[in-house]
Chains A and B, each alone.
Chain A
Amino acid sequence: MTDASMTPATAPKKKSSLLVQDARTRQRNAAETRFRMFGMAAIGVGLLFLVFLFTSILRSGLPAFTQTVVEIEFTMTQEQFDTAESKMLKTGEYQKIFVNALTEQLDASGLDVAFDGKAIERIVGKPGGTIRSFFLENPDRIGTPVSFELAASSRVDGYMNGRITRDTLVDSRFLMAADLDLVDALEDAGIVKGAFNWNFITGTDSGVDNPGGAGLGASVIGSFFMMLVVLFLSLPIGVAASIYLEEFAPKNRWTDLIEVNISNLAAVPSIVFGILGLAVFIQFAGFPQSAPLVGGLVLTLMTLPTIIISTRASLAAVPPSIRDAALGVGASKMQSVFHHVLPLAMPGILTGTIIGLAQALGETAPLLLIGMVGFVAREYPETFLGGLTDANSAMPAQIYTWASRADPGFYEKAWGGIIILLLFLITMNAIAVLLRRRFERRW
């Protein structure tokens, strides 16, 4: 300290009052208030986006869970059946029977709308095939009243839930403005109505021109089998690797290198893992294309760094005094780790694993590269093993496929798929929280 900076000893020190804030304190308090405001604003913006996200997802996605159906009950006589079966164009004949039944019921309701078979085709597709195969399979139902519930086409569906209005409808071979009168009449007669679309949850992917028949079920199964593979590979491998690295490995240049590379792997773009999986598992090892097994292997590679990093962090968080205590009573290194350290690190490991699984569940890009695209998910696997090796898709890939299809009906299916995917993710995160609470309470 120099003399110049010292205050003259003669200057009398002014007494300060605690009741008056000095300038410095005011400044500090103002800074603190400002910081709190920023914090609250940031949280507010975050919440706002969350609300925006959820409303838009729900608004666009919920229609996917309802499906406009044409429900009609009619009796097929043996005579009609025999006549239809003797024709060259059998399904066309069944369609005529269907149209006749429809006309009768409309007349019975006092609604007089003129329509032809083409209009029916635009509204419910070609119902003849469905009706014929039903009666071929159940010949004993001929002569009794049978109720058919047929999915309406996506444009009718759109009209019913407001996506298409009379003003926006452009006449095309898919739907004419005149058809809407028929739809209205059918709705008045109680034949066209909305129903919960179970098929969306349990069904499989449909063709590009049939959004009404598309379902997520097969992809959910695909995702499930992938998660099985990921869980059973990445949990033991990841935990074993982290225990070795954290507790046993000497700290030298090699382990440092491994550590840095694990951190790097966690940041590698997922599409790189996809290419790797394609090259190694499919082209080199010869595993089947589009198989959830391969998807699971690729996602295991992606999840491992996450699990290793979180497991190592929770192992490192166990106080060293516990290790000392165990070694002090003569436990071996392994006993101290497995009896004392690992149980204490368990909540962290489980949380890390489930978060890793949730990440893997939402991963799309690598799946597209190994052929697990949405349109592959046309049927359920027949056996458990088939679940691993049969071509299938996964939820996010299915959503991606739907989102890229031209028919606007698929647009709401994609959003609906997102709702289901989010439900799975929220459930998994809830399980993580529960497990964490439960294990922590035990200690």
Chain B
Amino acid sequence: MNDMRIMERKVDTKEVKIAAKDVQVYYGDNHAIKDVSVEIEDKTVTAFIGPSGCGKSTFLRCINRMNDTIDICRVTGDIMIDGEDIYNPKVDPVQLRAKVGMVFQKPNPFPKSIYDNVAYGPKIHGLAKNKADLDNIVENSLRRGAIWDEVKDRLHAPGTGLSGGQQQRLCIARAIATEPEVLLMDEPCSALDPIATAQVEELIDDLRKSYSVVIVTHSMQQAARVSQKTAFFHLGHLVEYGETTTIFTNPVDPRTESYITGRIG
């Protein structure tokens, strides 16, 4: 663990963006998330770590209600974004997902051009008034996704023709094109090589300025590198949540310690 580079960054704000209280998730009879309560801060990268099947991805998918697409999935408890319950029947999940962007484990660009990939979100949400506006949004998003220089000459080439790391950054650019407030990332680097991973991590660190970023990761080194807050999940429970430095250097719960030292998981 000596080689870990723990970020000592000053967190800009302590404002709570997402507040979850007593969240339970069931897949049919399987109780996947048990009593999870957590407060996620704005302009912070929060990492969810834990062994496979511990429920961290499931919890992440609750935050933008992607679990709604799974028939047998049932969520109880409250998840508030800016003080509003997102499971309120008045909330339209489509509107919610425009506010809470998501990047998936496997890069999944649409089988369309790079331009269309990024422009799709703004188009369906009516963010651009005209073509020039849209071009602007696309360029800005690609720049923020740290991929503009690589693709600016082939915006109309298919997005699926890019390399894995480029595809993932394209997906991040696509997610931020809709101007979300929260960015959820479900193991965004698990399919990437170390160099692409480093690029994406740098990007995540940069995105923290504007968004509340929640990232699920299997790599503890990655959690340590990019996040300010870390939550450790185990068997559906949120075992420990706190400053990343604290979690990795001085964990309170013995399970956390066992996991980060490699004894369980």
Which A residues are closer than 8 A to B by beta carbons? 250-251, 319, 321-332, 335, 339-340, 344, 443
Between A and B, 28 residue pairs with Cβ closer than 8 Å are A319-B108, A321-B104, A322-B108, A322-B111, A323-B69, A324-B108, A325-B108, A325-B110, A326-B120, A327-B66, A327-B69, A328-B64, A328-B66, A328-B101, A328-B102, A328-B103, A328-B175, A329-B98, A329-B120, A329-B121, A330-B99, A330-B101, A330-B121, A331-B94, A331-B124, A332-B94, A443-B111, A443-B160
Q: Are A329 and B178 in contact (CB under 8 A)?
A: yes
A26–B209 Cα distance when bound, in Å, is 67
Residues of B within 8 A of A323 (CB): 69
Q: Which residues of B contact A443 (CB under 8 A)?
A: 111, 158, 160
Measured CB to CB, the closest approach of chain B to A277, in angstroms, equals 38
Complex interface bits, B65-79 against A, C-beta within 8 A gives 1, otherwise 0: 010010100000000
A321 near B124 (CB under 8 angstroms)? no
Does any Cβ of A come within 8 Å of B143's Cβ? no
User: Given contacts A328-B64, A329-B101, A443-B158, are A321 and B175 in contact (CB under 8 A)?
Assistant: no
> Considering the complex of A and B, which 4 residue pairs feature the smallest CB-CB distances, nearest first?
A330-B98, A321-B108, A329-B121, A328-B102
- Interface centre among B109, B120, B178, by most chain A C-beta atoms within 10 angstroms, is B120
Nearest CB in chain B: distance from A440 CB, A:
10
Q: Which of B112-143 contact A (CB under 8 A)?
A: 120-121, 124-125
Contact A325 B171 (CB under 8 A): yes
> Which listed residue (A251, A322, A335) contacts B124, Cβ 8 A?
A335
- Pairwise interchain contact B71-A328, C-beta atoms closer than 8 A: no
* Chain A residues, CB < 8 A from B103: 328
Chain A residues with CB under 8 A of B109 = 325
Question: Secondary structure at chain B's binding surface: helix, strand, loop or mixed?
Answer: helix
B174 to chain A, nearest CB (A): 6
Q: How far is the CB of B124 from chain A (nearest CB, A)?
A: 6
Contacts of A250 in B (CB 8 A): 71
- A328 and B97 contact, CB distance less than 8 A: yes
Q: Bound complex: CA of A339 vs CA of B110, how far in Å?
A: 10
Query: Does B104 contact A340, Cβ atoms closer than 8 Å?
Result: no
CB closest residue in chain A, given B94: A332
**Which A residues are CB-close (under 8 A) to B71?**
250-251
- Number of inter-chain CB pairs below 8 Å: 67
Contacts beyond the supplied A327-B69, A330-B94: 8 A-B pairs with Cβ under 8 Å: A321-B106, A321-B108, A324-B66, A325-B174, A328-B104, A335-B124, A443-B111, A443-B158
With most chain B CB atoms within 10 A of its CB, the pick from A251, A319, A328 is A328
Contact mask for chain B residues 156-200; partner A; CB cutoff 8 A; 1 contact, 0 none: 001010000000000100110110000000000000000000000
The reply to whether B125 and A330 contact each other, CB–CB distance below 8 Å, is yes
Interface: B95 (CB within 8 A): yes
Most A CB contacts (10 A, CB to CB) among B97, B103, B104 go to B97
**Across the interface, do A330 and B95 meet the contact criterion of CB distance under 8 Å?**
yes
Q: In the complex, what residues of B have CB within 8 A of residue A339's CB?
A: 120, 124
Q: Which of chain A's residues has its CB closest to B92's CB?
A: A332
Q: Which residues of A have CB within 8 Å of B174?
A: 325, 329
Instruction: Give the Cβ gap from B4 to chain A, nearest Cβ, in Å.
Output: 31
Q: Please, which residue of chain B has its CB at the minimum distance from the CB of A252? A: B71
Residue of B nearest to A328 (CB): B102
Q: Is the CB of B104 within 8 A of A325?
A: yes
Determine whether the beta carbon of A322 is less than 8 Å from that of B64.
no
| Chain A residue nearest to B102 in the complex (CB) | A328
Complex contacts, A322 vs chain B, CB 8 Å: 108, 110-111
The CA-CA distance from A173 to B24 in the complex, in Å, is 94
B97-A344 in contact (CB<8A): no
Closest CB-CB distance, B213 to chain A, in whole Å?
A: 15
Q: Which residue of A lies closest to B158 (CB)?
A: A443
B53-97: CB near A (< 8 Å → 1, else 0) gives 000000000001010010100000000000000000000001101
Tell me which residues across on chain A come within 8 A of B108, comparing CB atoms: 319, 321-322, 324-325
Bound-state Cα–Cα, A21 to B109, Å: 50
Taking CB atoms, residues of chain A closer than 8 Å to B95 are 330
Shortest CB-to-CB span from B173 to chain A, Å, is 11
Assess the A340–B110 pair: CB atoms within 8 A: yes
Residue ID in chain B nearest A334 by CB atoms: B94
Residue numbers in B under 8 Å from A328 (CB-CB): 64, 66, 97, 101-104, 175
Most buried by B among A321, A331, A443: A331
Give B252 Cβ to nearest chain A Cβ, in Å.
34
Q: Which residue of B lies closest to A321 (CB)?
A: B108
Q: What is the distance, in angstroms, from B171's C-beta to the closest C-beta of chain A?
A: 7
Q: Which residues of A contact B64 (CB under 8 A)?
A: 328
B98 / chain A contacts, CB cutoff of 8 Å: 329-330
CA distance A344 to B120 in the complex (A): 16
Distance between A321 CB and nearest chain B CB, rounded to angstroms = 4
A322–B71 alpha-carbon span in the complex (Å): 18
Cα of A326 to Cα of B178 in the assembled complex, Å = 12
Instruction: Give the chain A neighbours of B171 by CB distance below 8 A.
Output: 325
Given A250-B71, A339-B120: A327 and B97 interface contact (C-beta under 8 Å): yes
Q: Which residues from chain A contact B110 at a C-beta distance below 8 Å?
A: 322, 325-326, 340
Q: How far is the CB of B50 from chain A (nearest CB, A)?
A: 22
